[in-house]
Amino acid sequence: MKVAIIGLGSVGSAVATAIKNTGLVHEMVLFDRDGVRAMAAAADLGHASAFSFDVKITAANSYREIRGSEIVVIAAGANQKPGQTRTDLLAANADVIRDIIPRVMANTDPKTVKIIVVTNPLDVMVMLARDLSGLPAARVIGTGTMLDSARLRTILARQFDVSPMSINAYVLGEHGDSSVVNWGSICIGAIPLNDFCKSTKLPLPQTTRRTIEHRVHNAAYEIIQGRGATWDGIAAAVNDLLRCIINDEKRILTVSCVATKTNVAMSRPAIVGHDGVITVLTPRLLPMESRALQNCARIIKKNYNNI
């Protein structure tokens, strides 16, 4: 399996490291418009091959070198500076996606290639990448709220002192400020959240729930304030998505892809396998969550219409 990564900044480099450390792929090709940076990343990570999996890692001078890649990860573009929202990146990153997608399509097999979009504002970039590539929606996949859901699961795990692996909890909608915590479908193990709270006598009052939502929404801002960018969490999310596709695991992940009915991309729980998104599921939603999701769709559509 050959994978290409476009954009070797904080996120792309961390993604490359995460993928390298799993041994899931035998070949990785790294492209950045800053060729020196891509070359340095390929050399540095290549040296790590002596300590773990022997993955062939090369820096590409041109898109011709991504030929044969079955999955292309797009992590290029401007990132948020302290105080900026993801939406502030809209115009600049739309140009980045417009630059990248035609070149990717000219050098990959349109019958099989899967594009994973990481660039923000994520959902709009997924819609643009889908339009420009002409690929089926199932094969243009944004990491969406995988990271937001992971943040929610971790917070709940610490609250209840249970492994995050045993928390099934989704954040849905926009990967952005309007994302929606889907309280109605949270289960700890197989036990619905409210039943779990009752049986363990660990209540989760509304005030705590609002605080948790706030922490999920603000996690990226706090990390950017502290270390300039976020990369570890998103790299783990991309690697998890890649693993799910490569191994045809058919796990349920909150990824973003364009819905046929609405033509809007936003995150919903979806079964993901070798051919990308197989089925998008409809979770149980509280009326408030349903309204909040409609609001997400409106925001994403409006932003899309602005580019």
Q: Which residues bind ligand NAD (CB under 6 A)?
A: 6-12, 32-34, 37, 75-80, 89, 93, 96, 99-100, 118-120, 122, 143, 147, 175, 229-230, 234
Rounded least distance, CB 150 to ligand NAD, Å: 10
CB 305 within 8 A of CB 126: no
**Residue found by looking up tokens 């006598």 in the block:** 201
| Residue nearer to ligand NAD on the CB measure, 89 or 188 | 89
Instruction: Count the Cβ atoms, other than its own, within 10 Å of residue 32.
Output: 23
Which residues face 141 on adjacent strands? 116
Rounded least distance, CB 71 to ligand NAD, Å: 16
Rounded least distance, CB 212 to ligand NAD, Å: 19
Rounded least distance, CB 92 to ligand NAD, Å: 9
CA dist 75 and 57 (Å) reads: 17
| Residue nearer to ligand NAD on the CB measure, 120 or 182 | 120
Rounded least distance, CB 69 to ligand NAD, Å: 15
CA dist 241 and 142 (Å) reads: 10
Q: Two tokens at 206? A: 């509304």
Q: Two tokens at 44? A: 């540095």
Clarify whether 175 is annotated catalytic: yes
Which residues face 268 on adjacent strands? 255
| Residue nearer to ligand NAD on the CB measure, 188 or 268 | 268
CA dist 257 and 270 (Å) reads: 9
**E strands, 112-244, where?**
114-117, 140-142, 167-168, 171-172, 180-181, 187-188, 191-192
CA dist 173 and 290 (Å) reads: 10
CA dist 56 and 41 (Å) reads: 13
CA dist 64 and 166 (Å) reads: 43
Rounded least distance, CB 214 to ligand NAD, Å: 18
> Which of 47, 175, 214, 274 is an active site residue?
175
CB 1 within 8 A of CB 219: no
Query: Nearest residue by C-beta to ligand NAD?
Result: 9
Active site (catalytic) residues: 175
